[in-house]
Structure 1
Amino acid sequence: MTSFSKTDHATRSKQKLTLANNEIHLWMTKPEELLGNDELLSTYVTLLTSKETAKQQRYKFAEDRHDALITRAFIRDLLSYYADIAPQDWQFEKGEKDKPEIVNCPLPLRFNISHTKNLIICAVTLEDDIGCDVENIGRSNDVLAIAERYFSPKESDELFALPSDQQRNRFFDYWTLKESYIKAWGLGLAIPLKDFSFNISDTECNHKEVFTIKQNISLSFAKHRVDEPQIWRSWLVYPTTAIDEKQEHRIAISLRSKKSGSKNDNQKTDYQLRFFNSLPLLGYQEM
């Protein structure tokens, strides 16, 4: 990630962003880059509500407290690029599905946060339900055993039909997509992971300077699962070496259209993904 100097804040903080109806903005920050910056970290503390601070302080380990502080400062700061509300003045509440929603925004902003070792992300869009997930693909879990337990039969069959050296990567494709879907609903594991299946085509990729994006992804559902595949769009994002030197991370985004009636079909919508690096209160850079 590109470093920011203290002088960047004065200029970058004025660079407001607009968000079109067909845009998804994906924000990223690396909490380890802020280790030791005590002055800035102290400022972050002033942005949080007393409830947020109490929750952040409940983490047992210093690393987890650090990451929790960065996460709250990160979301408050980035939202202020879309509206004239100071980072400390954003208000949140649990929505009807227990998902955090913005209370006091003049725009219909929707967002979702995910974090893993050394990367925090936030997906932002207008009106539609959005979910995102980031995973560290170097973790030592027995991922194939997890697949056997949680994936749909269709996904498991496809996964284990691959050559063994490709199975771990495909596991994280499925896992992040499934997490992004349940996070877009805001219901977590109340939705059984076996009740929906992703189909991933390897024929279509969009190669950006620092990302490869896979977007030819479709959803299907078990007979008892009430949902509509035509209102969902999903993307896989593979950071390249310019942002993710060790190829550590896998990112997925799922979006659920909330338009009414016959318009509630987003399969032909030309969605545009934009990517931003930021360090809270020091500015952002679009990649």
Structure 2
Amino acid sequence: MPIELPAFQRSVNDFVLKMKDIFSSTEVNRILSSGSEAEKMRKFYEHWCFKEAYVKALGCGLRIPLKTIECQFSDGGNELSLANELINQPDKNWAFEKHNLPQNHLAVVAWSENTYVASS
């Protein structure tokens, strides 16, 4: 996913605040306090990509409200646990890989020991 502000948006803060229905208040504050406009966009897409990878790995798509899944970063942003309001505790059974790709793109892969992978 490219890390840039959509052309129709006036500011990063406005863009993030319009998306507040998919982020917890803690996540919104973390994103908006990230520093430069570029860093705010990087944090926004980082949070989005982790959530997207998680719900895709669950196989349930956007049936889970993204706001109920909170990214909790530690270790300078390299460790992540997800707190899901539906299970009411951090889910430690998930692993994530974050890849910073060329041309300012970001990709995240999520998996769990309980994730079923179909064979081809």
Q: Answer yes or no: same fold by TM over 0.5.
A: yes
Distance 2:34 2:113 in 1: 32
Aligned to 1:186: 59
Aligned to 1:140: 6
* Residue segments in structure 1 that go unaligned for 5+ positions in a row: 1-134, 205-214, 260-287
Contact 2:5 2:41 in 1 (8 A): no
Tell me which amino acid in the other structure corresponds to 2:92: Q
Secondary structure, in 3 states, of the residue corresponding to 1:250?
strand
Which residue of 160, 169, 181 corresponds with 2:42? 169
Question: Alpha-carbon deviation of 1:201?
Answer: 3.3
Secondary structure, in 3 states, of the residue corresponding to 1:162?
coil
Change (3 A) 1:197 1:136: same
Distance 1:139 1:202 in 2: 27
Question: Alpha-carbon deviation of 1:221?
Answer: 2.1
Secondary structure, in 3 states, of the residue corresponding to 1:219?
strand
Contact 1:234 1:255 in 2 (8 A): yes
Aligned to 2:81: 218
The one-character-per-residue Cα deviations of 1:137-193 (angstroms, maximum 9, x if unpaired) are 235164413432211222112112222432111001001111001101111110000
Aligned to 1:256: 112
Runs of 4 or more off by more than 6 Å in structure 1? none
TM-score, structure 1 length as denominator?
A: 0.34
Determine which structure has more spread, i.e. the larger CA radius of gyration.
1
* Residue segments in structure 2 that go unaligned for 5+ positions in a row: 10-14, 116-120
Aligned to 1:90: none
Distance 1:228 1:201 in 2: 13
> Comparing both structures, which one devotes a greater share of its residues to helix?
2
Q: Does 1:198 align with 2:71?
A: yes
Number of matched residues?
107
Distance 2:3 2:71 in 1: 19
Distance 1:156 1:179 in 2: 16
Q: Does 1:236 align with 2:98?
A: yes
TM-score, structure 2 length as denominator?
A: 0.75
Tell me which amino acid in the other structure corresponds to 1:152: S
Change (3 A) 1:176 1:146: farther
Contact 2:70 2:83 in 1 (8 A): yes
